[in-house]
A and B are shown apart, each in its own frame.
Chain A
C-alpha cells in the first residue's frame, strides 16, 4: 500500500486474504480464504480468483508475496503473458521469504527493499520502506 500512488491511476484489482483488518477504500478486491483458516475454502476461493485472472488477463502483476497464494497465482499470471514484478517485503532484511524463493524464476523484475539483501542474493534494489 506504500506504493499506492504508483498503481492507483491504472485499472487494478487487489488479490488479498480475508481477515479482520479493515479492507475499506481499496477498490476492486479478489478475496481468498487463508489456508490456515480453512483449506477447502482456500482452494475454492483461490480457484475462483485464478479463473477471474484468466478472464481478466492482467497486463502487469505486482506482488509483495502473499504466502501460499502467490506460489500459484504468480506463475499462473506469468504463463498468461503478464509482466510480473515481485517486491519482497521490507520486513525481510537478511534472507528472502519462502514465497520469494519460489516465485523468483517467474518474475520479470525481482526487487528487494534492503540494499544488503540485494547484494547478497543478486536482486534489484530501487529503494525501500525507510
Chain B
C-alpha cells in the first residue's frame, strides 16, 4: 500500500511512501488486482498488466472540485470491463470480490498517438511544418459548402 507523505498505518497491509519505478512495476506484476484512485498512471499500470482495477475516484473520499474528471475516467474503464468503480467506501469489499471475477481479453496498447507524434517529429526533422487541415469557406458561401482543405506544407 503506497501511502505517499501521509502517516497512515494499516493493520493488514505493508505500507511504503513511494517506490522506484522498477519496484513499483514489480508490485504491479505480482499483484492479483489493483486498488487505486482513478489516476491515469495507476490505471495504465494495472491495465497494461491485465490486472483487474478497483477504482475509487478521488471525489468519493475528498470533495475536490478541481479533480472531477476521475469519476468519468473510472466509468470509462468500467465500460471497458477492466475494472469496477467504488461509489461509496462501504462497498469496497464487495467491489473487490466483483473485480476478482472480472474477465477481459489481454490488453493491447494503442500506439495511434505515439505513431502520430513520431510521424510528426520525423516530418519536422525533414524541415516540414505540418499544419492541421484548415476549415475554409469556399468562395465565402453558406455553411453547407464548408470543405476541409489539407494545408500544403512548404517543402
Give me the interface of A with B, judged by CB distance under 8 Å: 2-3, 5-7, 10, 20-22, 24-25, 59-60, 62, 83, 85, 87, 89-95, 108-109, 111, 113, 124, 126-130
Q: List 12 A-B contacts (CB under 8 A).
A: A2-B44, A2-B114, A6-B121, A20-B5, A60-B121, A91-B39, A93-B76, A113-B113, A127-B111, A127-B112, A128-B113, A130-B80
Q: Which residues of B contact A6 (CB under 8 A)?
A: 114-115, 117-118, 121
Q: Which residues of A contact B114 (CB under 8 A)?
A: 2-3, 5-6, 127
Q: Judge whether B113 and A87 touch: CB under 8 Å.
A: yes
A85 to B5, CA, bound (A): 34
Number of A-B contacts (CB under 8 A): 89
Contact for B69 among A21, A59, A93, CB less than 8 A: A93
Q: Which residues of B contact A92 (CB under 8 A)?
A: 69
Given A20-B4, A127-B116; 14 other pairs, CB 8 A cutoff: A2-B113, A3-B114, A7-B121, A22-B20, A24-B20, A85-B120, A91-B40, A94-B68, A94-B72, A126-B113, A129-B44, A130-B47, A130-B76, A130-B80
Q: Judge whether A7 and B44 touch: CB under 8 Å.
A: no
Give me the interface of B with A, judged by CB distance under 8 Å: 4-5, 17-18, 20-21, 39-40, 43-44, 47, 68-70, 72-73, 76-77, 80, 110-118, 120-121, 124-125, 129-132
State the Cβ distance, A51 to closest chain B Cβ, in Å. 24
Contact for A83 among B116, B118, B129, CB less than 8 A: B129
Q: Judge whether A7 and B72 touch: CB under 8 Å.
A: no
If A2-B44, A20-B17, A108-B131 touch, does A126 touch B116 (CB 8 Å cutoff)? Answer: yes
A91 to B67, CA, bound (A): 9
Q: Which residues of A contact B110 (CB under 8 A)?
A: 127-130
State the Cβ distance, B63 to closest chain A Cβ, in Å. 17
State the Cβ distance, A88 to closest chain B Cβ, in Å. 11
A92 to B116, CA, bound (A): 20
A5 to B112, CA, bound (A): 12
Q: Judge whether A93 and B73 touch: CB under 8 Å.
A: yes
A25 to B119, CA, bound (A): 24
Contact for B132 among A94, A124, A127, CB less than 8 A: A124
